[in-house]
Structure 1
């Protein structure tokens, strides 16, 4: 059975953010993830995790101005210094919270622009060098253009090629089943071929991004395949509950 982590940005929105940790634990989750912790002191987030008896799966590095539409800095021209500072910020939080992984968001840029690709590779190299000695891993995630138009990293094969090119054990793939299905389909075969490079998996139904088991994919079969492949990381539940979070957890109880 996969180990599921509740995404506290999308789930348990019936509660204030800092109350979602205990709500997730009460619902049976053993770990959590979220987009960003930076609105709260790292020590407070760590305390909420500890009190709820939860593990942290991962969170994202600072994205720039999220509310203005920015979606990361790594490939964005003129933001190199800000990106380097964001690595320090994220690493400081990861050390206190105890997160083993950070997601490096690429940002909005043209992947076919050689200058943008060079910036992205340089940024990843800097981030790996900065975080590896601290024992914090990095992941990159392909994201579909329907949900995030203009996102630099929008292809799973390209993402895998980048991980191989950087060739550092602390840089791996974040395999989001929802994004994979929209971008390419062929979810199970991709899991089989890419599993050696996958450090984190996420799930949501397609196309509405609701609870597993409510869309076009056989999520139970995919979960069985994840088990069969020997994956021992967390599966992040990055979905939007169709109703209240608790009322939509029958899939978890059935599994």
Structure 2
């Protein structure tokens, strides 16, 4: 199947045991998932939990992806503590722990050939929010030099409070403020269109506000009934074509990561996901523009 954009599938969003095509691939094994993605003509594979895997498994998965012509997408920094206030720490001991976790993430990136590390973090309910966000920006600035030397971007992701409560970066504007305060070329935004839309924003207008600071793009649609959720691209109420054409026109040449699970947990649901995505992809205009 030919695609206009460079899409990825994932090896699990809620955990590595639930990859995107666990019903229609031969198995949930990463090799079988990679084969399915390659057979579909996808450009990459996203392994959120890469940092959980043993070093030899990281290398094996990345090597198989390369054999099948796929590149590695983003993965989550320190997935064991993703919802803890790790990026907003202060003090020598806490920052030493943060540095150790960053070392592990950078080593993971080197083994898999990844260039995007997703940075999400919880908040301390007993500490001042502004101080926590200021500390996060300072820690990202400190980490930026190490990331740059490794050829990696640290991408700050805003998560919608309706989906993930108690997170420190709970709006795109907050993420933008942190990235600007960090003021480092290796610290960028993860533009998760699903979280942006879930927060009530028009994704095209939101993109216009932050373009030039985006390191990676993730996609999920919103249910038509107005409920909170993340469903198949093309299956909900998001107007994808002007947004995706604007991103293309802006010169973005990275991956478009499918950051959701099938609306229906079945082989039929996975087939519908592909059909909906293909419909959106076909609708993209030949002349890019916003």
Common fold by TM > 0.5: yes
Aligned to 2:207: 191
Q: After superposition, what is the alpha-carbon deviation per residue over 1:217-242, rounded to whole angstroms, capped at 9, x for unaligned?
A: 12233222322333222111001102
CA RMSD of aligned residues (A): 2.2
Q: 1:9 to 1:231 in 2, by over 3 A?
A: same
Aligned to 2:112: 97
Higher Rg of the two aligned structures:
2
- CA–CA separation in structure 2 for the residues paired with 1:34 and 1:175: 17
Aligned to 2:278: 253
SS at match of 1:9: coil
Query: Is the CA contact 2:129–2:168 (under 8 Å) kept in the aligned structure 1?
Result: no
Out of 147, 154, 178, the position equivalent to 1:131 is 147
Cα offset, 1:204, TM superposition: 0.7
Moved more, 53-62 or 103-112: 103-112
Q: Which runs of 5+ in 2 are unaligned?
A: 14-19, 224-228, 282-290
Q: After superposition, what is the alpha-carbon deviation per residue over 1:77-105, rounded to whole angstroms, capped at 9, x for unaligned?
A: 78543322110001001011111111122
Aligned to 2:288: none
Out of 214, 239, 246, the position equivalent to 2:235 is 214
**Structure 1 residues 124-163: aligned runs within 5 Å:** 124-163=140-179
Query: Is the CA contact 2:232–2:277 (under 8 Å) kept in the aligned structure 1?
Result: no
SS at match of 1:64: helix
Cα offset, 1:143, TM superposition: 0.3
- CA–CA separation in structure 2 for the residues paired with 1:25 and 1:172: 28
Q: Which has the higher contact order (CA 8 A, sep 6+)?
A: 1
Cα offset, 1:72, TM superposition: 6.3
Cα offset, 1:128, TM superposition: 1.0
Moved more, 156-165 or 170-179: 156-165
SS at match of 1:201: strand
Q: TM-score, normalised by structure 2?
A: 0.79
**Structure 1 residues 56-205: aligned runs within 5 Å:** 56-65=72-81, 70=83, 73-75=86-88, 79-110=94-125, 112-205=128-221
Query: Is the CA contact 2:219–2:258 (under 8 Å) kept in the aligned structure 1?
Result: yes
Cα offset, 1:135, TM superposition: 1.2
- CA–CA separation in structure 1 for the residues paired with 2:174 and 2:81: 26
User: How many residue pairs end up in the alignment?
Assistant: 252
- CA–CA separation in structure 2 for the residues paired with 1:155 and 1:105: 12
Q: Which runs of 5+ in 1 are unaligned?
A: none
Moved more, 55-64 or 168-177: 55-64
SS at match of 1:172: strand
Query: Is the CA contact 1:143–1:179 (under 8 Å) kept in the aligned structure 2?
Result: yes
Q: TM-score, normalised by structure 1?
A: 0.89
Aligned to 2:65: 49
Aligned to 1:25: 38
- CA–CA separation in structure 2 for the residues paired with 1:56 and 1:228: 23
